[in-house]
Structure 1
Amino acid sequence: MNARRILNLPDKESKGGEQDAAAAEENTPSPPGKGGSDRAGADWNAVGWAEENESPRTSFARRAGRVAIWAVIGLAAFTGVRTWIFPAKPVTPGPQVDQQAEARKNDVPVEEAQQVAARFARSYMSFNSQAPRLRAKDLKVDLARDADPKLGWDGQGVQLVSQTIPGKVTQGEGKRARVLVDVRVSYTAKVSGKDTTVSRWHGLEVPVAETAGRVLVTGQPALVGMPTEADYKLPEPPTADAAMSGVTRQTIKDFLTAWAAGSEDQAAAPGSTIAPLGGGMRLDSLDGWSVDAGSGDKRTGTATVRWKLAGAQLQQTYRITITQVSASSGSRWQVAQVTAAS
């Protein structure tokens, strides 16, 4: 059979007869023609299949694909070897910039600005037509060199400053700022035809700048408005413990009496620190004492106290914390803390 010849196997032995000879003759391939081998005349003993010619386009696509694949493999190999020899350096993040901190570098130091503005406000708002040079001398301490120390004053009148309180500092650009100062002034005025000393508060805004390592006043200050009244609703008082209030009322009164006399340590609880009131006053009355509802060995209540000082009575409200202290003879309540009522 043809399959045996393709596989180069020996032919089967014929079992004789004309049938075997005829079959062998029939299976013998015919010789090739003059034009070369055709399909029928191919040498099947030497070749197991027939090759098919490849078109130029297919051949080009196949070669281009091989080139692309080898290029990718080569690039991957080169990149890998390069990272072995020259490993990538970790990226170090840059320093974080605090925008607010950068902006504050151009700010005027708050404490120094308040100190300079308060001192300047006292000198600026104090004047006496009988001693004009004294005011100019005081103002020069905080003014830039060659600045006019009069700053708009016409040289008339008399006014004294009893107190200055520096407040809000409004920062500007280029190490400049404005400082609000509350100024308490006193002067003499006619009231009902009589000379009377009048005292009042004024708001003064002072321009300042930092230069040459210090803060200076850069020009004329300006009088501005003072805060006005505002509405505020007090919170509801806590529920009271009437029984506890009655039991501890005398304890609170004894403490307040000793506190005014300067011997509060004797009436305070051990370990508590309560600053003395100072002299010149005494307890007039305990108008009210109410302990908040609760439990435990530490309780807080509200005391309404009337002090007597300088010939007058002054009522005030405190929040007082008491604690139960045990001793061999029993236990008692003592004052542990005193604060203003919120």
Structure 2
Amino acid sequence: MLYLVVGLMAFLGVRSVLFPPDTAAPPAPADPQAQARADDVPEAAAQQVAARFARNYLTWSKDNPTAREKELAADLPKDADATAGWDGNGAQLVAQTIPGQVTHTGPHQARVVVDVRVSTTTGQGKKARSVSSWRGLEVPVAETGGRVLVTGQPALIGAQQPVPWTAPEVPDEDTDLSRSTRSGIESFFTAWVAGTAEQAAAPGAKISPLGEGIALRSVEAWRVEAGSGARRTGVATVRWSVAGAELQQPYRVTIAQVSASGASRWQVWQVSAQ
């Protein structure tokens, strides 16, 4: 009997080495960032809803108080108070809303900053005048039931303030190329404002027309940056006539060297803001 037990134990030991028992694979480590992203409110939808709500929230008229409530109710939870803190007095109109930063505050919750251009009327009779200004509004939103809703009272916040910025150093100028290409640049801007830019631009360039109501006063300056190659970059300072005023603007212009029939010339390839 003793030999039988010893033999069985020996057999089981060998078997465990040759055929180890199956072990379940360890679970994959959770990715907390992936889970957080899955819980985020969709930013495009959040901005759209917040911008619409901001327009309706800051638009009111004591002569038609229910109009505001009806508009706000579309983006509020069911049976929420659609007066949204307004006492029913005064009049204000929103001309524009620009949604901005979305801050995620919890699973399926966020706050959206909206810049709002409001217009009010001050004074009465002949002294009445319209005054417009920008307001900052932060709107709380949440994703629920397959859509984004405004979940609480928005709050007016401070507007963005100017901050310092140091412009990069201006590159050296290629004076010879600036001088030899200036007439071509003037011809391009003349053609551009006339709607015939394709006649003055390099072959293959895609430059959309400026549209009507703009006239060219002058190309005040043209400066090609030092460099080499068949494409170069410069800055043109242009003065336009628009709506009874003159407007000076700088343009970053890329010019390309075009060869044909043994001759070459520089033509405009791209135009953008500086």
Out of 99, 111, 115, the position equivalent to 2:44 is 111
Q: Aligned partner of 1:142: which letter?
A: D
- In the TM superposition, residue 330 of structure 1 has moved relative to its aligned partner by 1.7
Give matches, 1:156-171, under 5 Å.
156-171=89-104
3-state SS of the aligned residue for 2:176?
helix
Tell me the percent identity: 55
Deviation at 1:329, TM superposition (A): 5.8
**Cα distance in 2 for residues equivalent to 1:119 and 1:276:** 32
Q: Residue 147 of structure 1 is aligned with which of 65, 80, 87?
A: 80
- TM-score for the superposition, normalised by structure 2: 0.90
Provide the residue aligned with 1:285 in structure 2.
218
Residue 98 of structure 1 is matched in structure 2 by 31
Alpha-carbon contact 2:102-2:112 (below 8 Å) kept: yes
What per-residue deviation string (whole Å, max 9, x for no partner) do you get for residues 247-292 of structure 1?
Answer: 0001111111111111111111111211222211021111111001
| Residue of structure 1 equivalent to 2:62 | 129
Please give the secondary structure, in 1, of the residue aligned with 2:39: coil
Unmatched runs of 5 consecutive residues or more in structure 1: 1-70
Q: TM-score, normalised by structure 1?
A: 0.73
Aligned to 1:224: 157
Instruction: Give the alignment of 1:24-103 within 5 angstroms.
Output: 79=13, 82-84=16-18, 86-87=19-20, 92-103=25-36
Task: Give 1:164 shift.
Answer: 0.3
Greater relative contact order structure (CA < 8 Å, 6+ sep): 2
Please say which structure displays the higher CA radius of gyration: 1
- 1:331 to partner: Cα distance: 1.4
Residue number among 154, 157, 178 corresponding to 1:245 in the alignment: 178
The answer to which structure has the higher strand fraction is 2
In 2, the alpha carbon distance for the partners of 1:322 and 1:155 equals 60
1:296: Cα distance to partner? 2.0
Q: Which amino acid aligns with 2:74?
A: V
Q: Which residue of 2 aligns with 1:181?
A: 114
Shift of 1:304: 0.8
Q: Give me the whole-angstrom Cα distance separating, in 2, the residues matched to 1:313 and 1:320.
A: 21
Secondary structure of the equivalent of 1:172?
strand
CA distance in 2, matches of 1:327, 1:169: 53
Find the counterpart in structure 1 of residue 250 from structure 2.
317
Match of 1:59 in 2: none
Moved over 2 A (4+): 77-84, 87-97
| Letter of the structure 2 residue corresponding to residue 337 of structure 1 | Q
Question: How many Å apart are 1:94 and its aligned residue?
Answer: 3.1
Aligned equivalents of 1:284 and 1:204: distance in 2?
41
- Secondary structure at 2:238's aligned position in 1? strand
CA distance in 1, matches of 2:23, 2:237: 70
Flag structure 2 segments of 5+ consecutive residues without an equivalent. Answer: 1-5
Q: Residue 276 of structure 1 corresponds to which residue in structure 2?
A: 209
| Post-superposition CA distance 1:184-216 (Å, at most 9, x none) | 01111249x832211110000111111111111
Deviations 1:18-73 (A, max 9, x none): xxxxxxxxxxxxxxxxxxxxxxxxxxxxxxxxxxxxxxxxxxxxxxxxxxxxx9xx
Paired amino acid for 1:262: G
Q: Which residue of structure 2 lines up, in the alignment, with residue 208 of structure 1?
A: 141
Q: Deviations over 1:145-204 (max 9, x none)?
A: 11111111111111111100111111112321111100001111249x832211110000
Q: List per-residue Cα deviations over 1:74-118 (Å, max 9, x = no partner).
A: 97x97555433x156587453242211111222211111111100
